[in-house]
Structures are given as structure tokens and as C-alpha cells.
Structure 1
Amino acid sequence: MESTGLVLVALALGLAVGAGFMTLLHMAEHHGRRAAEVVNPAVPDGVDQVLDALETAGAVVDPSNNVIKASQAAVSMGLVWNRQLVHTELLDLIGQVRRSGEPISENLILSRGPFGDASMRVRVRLARLGTRYVLLLAEDRTEAFRLDEVRRDFVANISHELKTPIAAVGLLAEALNQAADEPLQVRRFATRLTTESGRLSRLTQEIIELSRLQAQDSLTEPEIVNVDAIVAAAVDQSRVTAEAAQVTIALGKKSRAEVSGDERLLVMAVHNLVANAVNYSGDGSRVGVGVRKNAGVVEISVTDQGVGIEEADLDRIFERFFRVDQARSRHTGGTGLGLAIVKHIVQIHGGDIRVWSQPGSGSTFTIRLPEAPYPAPAAIGDTP
């Protein structure tokens, strides 16, 4: 009987020890899994697919602020580098989300990448993802802000440019009324009034034209057009002004080049360059206009012997309302929109425009357009 009791006690102790050992094994396994999760955390189900589908930037951050998953856009924008968030501003917002548990939306100005000097405007939204993670979404709004600034500047510039001729027309009309009994004064004021109204009309027309060009990214119905005919028409529009200023316009030989595009717009672009060359050239000088084909590219060049352009201004001359010489431009009736119009016309034709200039020696503007794939045969009488 006593031996049986000893056996039962031994069995109970064995069971207790075994149970304790199994508990220890279970706890060790549990801690091992937790440690593995910390070292190699898993993204909650579905988040991988969501981030991969995002066009905007997205990232998931763990409690140690390690980025465990990021979309390609987040890397491209420079928000994530080496599995870490680059910007302390984002880490501060993540800390706020963890403390409050509430989503946060902010507009930030951040550097583009860990080593970049360029800045970007970003709209970010952060929220908790489960109990351990924080989800960061970011939208690059730099271009949207830039376009808003361009629109604001454009409206401000238009208001400024329109104010001058409108005020002049009002003053001249008042002067005409007061000088009704003086024929010489009436004729002088009427001439001035005609000049200012013409300037106002040109400015209005160019604003409308530029707005139309900016509203389209490509040509709707391009046709094969003869470049020599375009140049001839553009030069003819400037003949009277050139003769009045004693400026000679010299045309190069016929190129028989053709491009695909809108004839009216191309004539406008070349005419703007020729008119600028004439206006900024001195009396008795020469303006050269030539066309050449070069490896599938048609180049239309306009060269003057005018005042030239300083190197610091070369990057700005295609901006709206920018003038190299404010006084001369107003004297010649320039609106400051001509080169901006040229640039947009060339761009929607799939080309580009280049400029070379030497202060005191003159400038050369070159429009480069893709040549039409099947040039027309030479016409009888064309100069080779």
C-alpha cells in the first residue's frame, strides 16, 4: 500500500514537471514568434496590393519608425531612403498620430530626397494601421502650386499691361474733346489715339491666341505644309515695317522642305521672329531668314544685327511679358508675348526653339521642326 502511494506521488510529480516543461516550451515559442515579428514584421493583409496600386506615394512605418513597405512613388519622390523616412517633419507627424490615435493631414514643403537641394510641396495624410503601424500617404502638388502661381502672375501681368493703353486712350479722348477747336492738336491726338488703340488690339489678340495655344497639347488636324511658303508669307507681313526702318530682309535659297502642321500658326511664329528682328535692328542693318534640312530636322533661322541679348536674360526671353529692353519694346509697340507664342507654337508641332546672341552684335533664333516623312518633288523653276 505504501509503495503504491509512492508511485502515485512520483507520477504526479512527473506530470507536473512535464506540464511545466511544456509551458516553458510554449512560452519560448511565443516569445520566438514575437521576436521574429519585431525583426521581420509582416505588413497587414492587403496593404501590399494597395501600395502597389497607388499613383501617389505611400509607406507603412513600424513602431521603430522603420519603413516596412513603400510604394515606388515614395522612393521616387525622395521620401524614403534605405528603408527610413528622410524628413524629420514626417517622423514628428507619425509621433503625433501614435499619441492621439487620430489621422492627420498637413501641407509641407520638403526637400526632394536626402541629398537634393530642390524643394517640393507635398500634401500628406497619416493614420494608424492596426495597433502597431502607421500609414503615410503623400501627394506631390509642386506642379499644381507652380501652375497656380503662373496663373496669378499672368492675370497680374495682363492687368498691368492693359492698364497703360486703356489709360492712354481715356486721356487722349479727353484731350481731343478739349482741343476740338484746334485742328492741329486734334490730328496729333487722333494719331496717338490710333497708335494706342492698335497696341491694345494687338495685346488683346495675342492674349487670346496664347490662351488658345496653352489649352492644346497637340495639333488637331495637321497638314503637310511647305516651309518656303511659310517663310515667304511671314517675311511679306514685315516688309512695310522693315522698309520704314530701312532694314533689309534677305531670304536664303529655297529648301523645298515640308513639315506636318498648321500653316497659320507656323506663319505667325516665323513672323513674330522676323518682326522682333526688324524692331531690334538699327537703321540700315540687315535681317537674314534661312531654311535648311539637317538629318530629318527642318531649321528656320532668323538672324539680326541688333542690340543682342545679355546671357543672364537668355533663359527668360520666352517668358510671358518679359522684355529685354522695356523702353524700346514700348516704343515699337511690343507686347512681351511674341516669343512666348512662338515657343508654344513650336512645342505643339513637336519641335524646339534655340537662341544664340552676342550683346552688340545681334541674335539668331532657330526654330527646329521634324521634317515631313515624304517631301514633295521639286517644282519647275525652283532654285536648287
Structure 2
Amino acid sequence: MIDGSTPLAERSGVPLRLHSEGEPRLLYADSRRIDRVIRNLLGTAIEHCNDRGVDITSGTNQEAAAVTVRDYGVGLRPGEASLVFSRFWRADPARARTTGGSGLGLAIALEDARLHGGWLEAWGEPGTGACFRLTLPLNVRGSFIASPLDLYPDDSAPASSSPIENVEVR
């Protein structure tokens, strides 16, 4: 799913680091919409990472599959995590002139996650970057109470790098 964002990362000189946790699981979902969510999250992270790279982590438990996208850029000020999914909202309106975009990407991503019975959440602190987490139920009619991945990063313990292969979307 990240293949579509690799050229943008390469043009921007941004390394993408892939990590996976949990057992392989099959996720029944609209792959086009989930791909769009991941591309929106990666595009946002690449745009705001200040060339420090982006970590993409996938994980599963018995009920859900999750992907986090973490950058190490400007981060989010207090209260902004609840605003990032609002239509046309931008952390820095001046960036619209340089990076383009309509300010709709994350709002659309949130709606796609909800259509799948999932969550899309954001966390960040000024100067430490931001982390977005997409969590989806493995069962089409299922639900879940916890994501298999933490939203709040534990930067003291680096995750092992490996290709993301533990979630197959159909």
C-alpha cells in the first residue's frame, strides 16, 4: 500500500522506515479506500517531517488491524489533534501556497475509516512530530475495543525494521 507514496518520499529525500508487529491476518475491506487513507497519512507525514523520515508500523490482534504513520517534524500544538480531521483545516495555512492540497485529505481519510467501522486518530507534540493511527476490525461485522498499536510513541525502544506483510487487504 505504501508503493504509491514511495516516489513522493524519494523526490522529497524522506526515508520511509517500515515495521510490523503481530501475526499475519486477513482484513476484508475496500482496498481502494484503505489505500487512499494510507496515502493521505503518508503524504501528510512526508510533507511535515522536515526530512527526518517517517515510520510506518502495522500490527494486529485477534479483533483488529492497525497502521501507524509517525513523523518527527513540527508536531501538533495542544488542541490541534482534534482539528486535523476537519475539512479545510491546516496547521500552517501558509503551507497551502507551497505544498498545495485542498485541506480535505485527512477529513476524507477519517470518513473512509468510519465506513469500515474503524478509527482514525492523531497525536502530536510541538517539535516531536505527529502520529496517526488507523485501526480497522478484522471481521466485517465485528468491533474492537483496543488497537493493537499504541498511538503515543515509545521512542525509547526502537522497533525492528521489516517489510509490512502482516495485513492483507481484500
Q: Same fold (TM over 0.5)?
A: yes
Q: What is the aligned counterpart of 2:113 among 321, 346, 366?
A: 346
Q: What is the aligned counterpart of 2:37 among 257, 262, 269?
A: 269
Residues 383/323 of structure 1: CA separation in 2 closer, same or farther (3 Å cut): closer
How many pairs align?
142
Q: Distance in 2 between matches of 1:315 and 1:383?
A: 31
Cα displacement string for residues 335-372 of structure 1 (whole angstroms, at most 9, x for unaligned residues): 10000011000000001111110111101100010014
Q: Distance in 1 between matches of 2:62 and 2:74?
A: 32
- Helix, strand or coil at the partner of 1:237: helix
CA contact (8 A) 1:258 1:372 kept: no
CA contact (8 A) 1:350 1:369 kept: yes
Q: Report deviation, 1:383.
A: 7.1
CA contact (8 A) 1:247 1:278 kept: yes
Which of structure 1's runs of 4+ aligned residues deviate more than 6 A? none
Q: Does 1:279 align with 2:53?
A: no
How large is the Cα RMSD of the aligned pairs?
2.0
Q: What is the aligned counterpart of 2:25 among 252, 257, 278?
A: 257
Cα displacement string for residues 141-193 of structure 1 (whole angstroms, at most 9, x for unaligned residues): xxxxxxxxxxxxxxxxxxxxxxxxxxxxxxxxxxxxxxxxxxxxxxxxxxxxx
Q: Which residue of 2 aligns with 1:362?
A: 129
Residues 359/335 of structure 1: CA separation in 2 closer, same or farther (3 Å cut): same
1:242 counterpart letter in structure 2: A
Name the % identity: 32
Q: Distance in 1 between matches of 2:13 and 2:81?
A: 27
Q: Report deviation, 1:259.
A: 1.7
CA contact (8 A) 2:72 2:130 kept: yes
Q: TM-score, normalised by structure 1?
A: 0.35
- Helix, strand or coil at the partner of 1:238: helix
Structure-to-structure mapping, 1:315-326, within 5 angstroms: 315-326=82-93
Structure-to-structure mapping, 1:142-221, within 5 angstroms: none
Q: TM-score, normalised by structure 2?
A: 0.77
Q: Which residue of 1 aligns with 2:144?
A: none
Q: Distance in 1 between matches of 2:99 and 2:8?
A: 10
- Helix, strand or coil at the partner of 2:103: coil
2:120 counterpart letter in structure 1: I
Q: Distance in 1 between matches of 2:72 and 2:126?
A: 10
Q: Which residue of 2 aligns with 1:125?
A: none
1:275 counterpart letter in structure 2: G
Q: Does 1:237 align with 2:4?
A: yes
Q: Distance in 2 between matches of 1:251 and 1:368?
A: 17
| Contiguous gaps of at least 5 residues in structure 2 | 141-163
Q: Distance in 2 between matches of 1:325 and 1:298?
A: 31
Structure-to-structure mapping, 1:16-27, within 5 angstroms: none
Q: Does 1:311 align with 2:83?
A: no
Cα displacement string for residues 167-221 of structure 1 (whole angstroms, at most 9, x for unaligned residues): xxxxxxxxxxxxxxxxxxxxxxxxxxxxxxxxxxxxxxxxxxxxxxxxxxxxxxx
Structure-to-structure mapping, 1:221-232, within 5 angstroms: none
